[in-house]
Structure 1
Amino acid sequence: MRLGPLTDLSPRQQEISDRITARRGGTRGPFLVWLRSPELCEKVEALGAYCRFESSLPLRLTELSLLIAARHFDAQYSWNAHIDKAVEAGVSRAAIERLARDEDPQFDAKDEQLLYAFATEVLQEHFVADAVFAEALAAFGERGLVDIIGCLGNFSMLSMLLNTFQVDLQADREPPYPDIRGYTRVAPRSRKTA
């Protein structure tokens, strides 16, 4: 990681770290960076907890949205931390592996394919075509669409933090993307659209 170890926590940092540990089983990865700005950390952790555990989306779609954002930003730590959770929630491992290779994932579930199309347009084009928006609105409802955008925003911010501060990959995991080695891009790659 680009920052040294976080030592001698202030009382406020310790309070937030204890709360994170109680909710998530430990203060690790991105939280070791966020804690350097304790008030931001508290707010980011609350938003992340909402997105992952309380949003109107089923866990399967929440985990998929996290992987879509992680892949868009090449955030290997997030990918490694959530690929198994997405599979356990019901997303096809084969489709996820295609996503990791920047191929069309071809999700079996219609809502997963629609989430992928919607999220990809938002992340790549910064807008969503009327037809895709209408289909997503019909499938997910107003609250669902707002939660999707909130989750994508949160997971994108997380990805940027992980990459900027080069948060170390999990010791037991390999880098998940074939064209990324550590934090240095091997060769430019093109982004595919849904």
Structure 2
Amino acid sequence: MARIPYADPALPEHREAAETIRASRKRIGHLHRMLLHAPPIAQGWIALFDAVRWKSTLPGKIRELMMCRVAAINDAPYEWEAHAPLALQEGATQAQLDALRDWEASDAFDPTERAALAYCDAMTREVHVPEAIAQAVRDAFPPRQLVELTVTIAGYNCVSRVLEALDIKGSDPLPEG
């Protein structure tokens, strides 16, 4: 079970944020149910991640591979389970998902994907991106997409850290609400 109880979306102080989540996601899952404890953060979270997911020009396959790579590095199973099926829908292959934990030893990724994965690894593991890796993503992505790639990786590092710090699991029972 999570470290604190999941919030009740029916409580008056949670209703507005709950409606924002429902309008975006159609349902209030585990992560969002937890975020409801802080309604302004829940609403801001939805705004940010709606932009990352649906208002970005970054190819969906790259976006979802980055989310899965972050989940793999950070050992965040909830994040992996949420995004691996989406990666497949966006054009990633099962072979790519299977190779993602050791992508450098795999030939399943094209040069653009490899540049993005190296960038993801540097951002997630070291924070400071070496210039050679930064140059490779500058060569592979126009400025807008490079910003979108950067925010996707940073944002999903935030997601995994919230999930793991609060021990949120998709298998946790959610009370009615």
- TM (norm. structure 2) is 0.87
Shift of 1:104: 2.5
**Alpha-carbon distance between aligned partners in 2 of 1:131 and 1:165, rounded to the nearest angstrom:** 36
Q: Does 2:144 align with 1:130?
A: no
CA 1:89–1:163: 2 relative to 1, 3 Å: same
- Paired residues, what number? 169
Q: Match of 1:30, SS?
A: helix
Q: Is the 8 A contact 2:123 2:154 kept in 1?
A: no
Q: Unaligned stretches of 5+ in structure 2?
A: 173-177
**Alpha-carbon distance between aligned partners in 1 of 2:73 and 2:52, rounded to the nearest angstrom:** 18
Shift of 1:144: 1.4
* Cα deviation 1:16-60 (Å, max 9, x = unaligned): 212211221201121011110111111111111111111120111
Counterpart code for 1:142 = P
**Partner residue of 2:44?**
43
**Alpha-carbon distance between aligned partners in 2 of 1:53 and 1:84, rounded to the nearest angstrom:** 17
**Partner residue of 1:81?**
82
Q: Unaligned stretches of 5+ in structure 1?
A: 172-194
**Partner residue of 2:169?**
168
Q: Is the 8 A contact 2:103 2:109 kept in 1?
A: no
Q: Is the 8 A contact 1:53 1:59 kept in 2?
A: no
Q: Is the 8 A contact 1:16 1:42 kept in 2?
A: yes
**Alpha-carbon distance between aligned partners in 2 of 1:103 and 1:8, rounded to the nearest angstrom:** 40
Counterpart code for 1:65 = M
Q: Does 2:93 align with 1:118?
A: no
Specify which structure has the higher proportion of helix: 2
**Alpha-carbon distance between aligned partners in 1 of 2:103 and 2:141, rounded to the nearest angstrom:** 22
Q: Match of 2:40, SS?
A: helix
- TM (norm. structure 1) is 0.80
Shift of 1:11: 3.2
* Cα deviation 1:110-138 (Å, max 9, x = unaligned): 22111101111121122222222112112
Counterpart code for 2:111 = K
